[in-house]
Amino acid sequence: MTEALTRLYPDHLKTVAKRFDMALAAAGFDAIAVFAGSPHTLFLDDMDYPFRVNPHFKNWLPLCQAHDSFVAYVPGHKPVLVYYQPEDYWYLPPAAPAGYWTGYFDIRIIKRPEDAPGALPVARRCVFLGEWQDRFKNWGFADVNPESLLNTLNYTRAVKTEYELECMRIASALGAKGHQAAEQAFRAGASEFEIHTSFCAATGQTDNQLPYSAIIALNEHASTLHYQNWDLSKPDHRHAFLIDAGTQVNGYASDITRTYSAKPDEFQELIYALDQVQQQLAKKAQPETDFKALHAEAHHGIAQLLHDFEFVKLPAEDIVTSGISCTFLPHGLGHLLGLQTHDVGGSMASPRGDTIPKPAGHPFLRMTRVLKENFVVTIEPGLYFIDSLLDKLRQDKNAGQVNWPKLAEFRKYGGIRIEDNVAVKSGKPENLTRDAFKQA
């Protein structure tokens, strides 16, 4: 792992610097200070929320816990890391910078946050990027988070470097290990909480290290798209299990979802059929493919399943045009993935910041761009039995075409989602997730 990252990192850093050169030129600045962020204290407490680093900071280097630090960059010069390393006996201070990346930075250690101004390089027009605090107002920054600069950075980072792809391959491999452990725990009769701890143990990552809060949903809980609890009690009957969980490596995320039936029943057949739809969609993640069209194709695939499994009596085409497919697939097909789980820039038309609108009737689609080489996107069609949406369908003019007794029988399963992380490539996309499961 380290050998590959050591080899790939220099070119990655050159690409990041070029993108920041472009962004600074477009916004009219001479230098930039990228702030990692600070911990936030709970209301009426002396404890902090878990810290999440500024994604633009970790784009430069693999530090995810370096709060109150800066990466400062003047085009044409070696980037500076102003690294906050306090003398502290209440909490363990961050370790000294080490690893393959350190030789590419001018590293300046500070012991107090207020020492940062003296360590930052002097530049005529230096722009600030990150979460602003009042203490910075007299530090001499020329501007704070200008849109023209952010637009350029957010648009261009959709294309991943080989270093970033390698980080995401490793994150996918870790995620696959966690998913296998979670399935075994489910089969053994574990609770949602016990399944979650099995996932964390297999990946070697704690809750705070994961890129997002894992969704561990038994039975009807899978009908809540972002189900947020880990039930400590075991259900009386086990019908199904949905897990949406990933890991991160050097700040780059994996985002994987699988669904399992407790026994070989018709729900298992439906999972298998949706898996076939998902794999066909993933194979089409190629350069110049309009993601909106791929999302529309997903709805046609779901509609065909609704027809074939006799949930809806209408032909598949009519299930789509009537809007019924949105009852069962209410979210978008996928999103950009990288430094953030739902990475920014999914609807950007250009570095200027203009956007590509979402198709009518699909307000939750996070990705509307045309795919380019080395984008990484999630492909995650789903088919759910959501009470509130089914209640609305009962009021629809096509309610008589719905097999309500069968839907009532399937509500106990909650729903299905199958999600892979796919790197867009000419000819054959690289399915990071399927490759990881094969290797695991």
Phi, psi of 406 (to 5 degrees): -70, -40
Amino acid at 415: G
Tens of pLDDT, residue by residue over 281-335, are 999 999 999 999 999 999 999 999 999 999 999 999 999 999 999 999 999 999 9
Phi/psi for 369 (5° steps) reads: -80, 165
204-209 own/partner pairs: CB under 8 Å, 24+ apart: 204/174, 205/174, 205/247, 205/248, 207/50, 208/50, 209/64, 209/247, 209/248
What value does the mean pLDDT of the chain take? 97
End-to-end distance of the chain based on CA atoms, in angstroms?
Answer: 16
Class of 162-439 in CATH? alpha beta
Helix (H) or strand (E) holding 32: strand 31-35
Give the whole-angstrom CA distance, residue 120 versus residue 138: 14
10 Å Cβ neighbour count for 360? 6
- In single-letter form, the type of residue at position 345 comes to G
Domain with CATH 3.90.230.10 in the chain: 162-439
- Output the CA–CA distances (angstroms, integers) from residue 4 to 9, 108, 167, 232, in the order listed: 8, 27, 10, 41
Taking the whole predicted model, whether its pTM rises above 0.85 is answered as yes
User: Over the Cα atoms of the chain, what is R_g?
Assistant: 24
Tell me, which fold does domain 2-156 have in CATH?
A: Creatine Amidinohydrolase; Chain A, domain 1 (3.40.350)
* Under 8 Å between Cβ of 367 and 334: yes
- pLDDT per residue, tens digit, the chain (440 aa), is 789 999 999 999 999 999 999 999 999 999 999 999 999 999 999 999 999 999 999 999 999 999 999 999 999 999 999 999 999 988 888 899 999 999 999 999 999 999 999 999 988 899 999 999 999 999 999 999 999 999 999 999 999 999 999 999 999 999 999 999 999 999 999 999 999 999 999 999 999 999 999 999 999 999 999 999 999 999 999 999 999 999 999 999 999 999 999 999 999 999 999 999 999 999 999 999 999 999 999 999 999 999 999 999 999 999 999 999 999 999 999 999 999 999 999 999 999 999 999 999 999 999 999 999 999 999 999 999 999 999 999 999 999 999 999 999 999 999 999 999 999 999 899 999 999 999 98
Give the Cα separation of 306 and 157 in Å (integer).
38
Strands (E), 152-239: 215-218
∠ CA 431-151-129, rounded to 5°: 105
Residues of each domain in the chain carrying CATH 3.40.350.10: 2-156
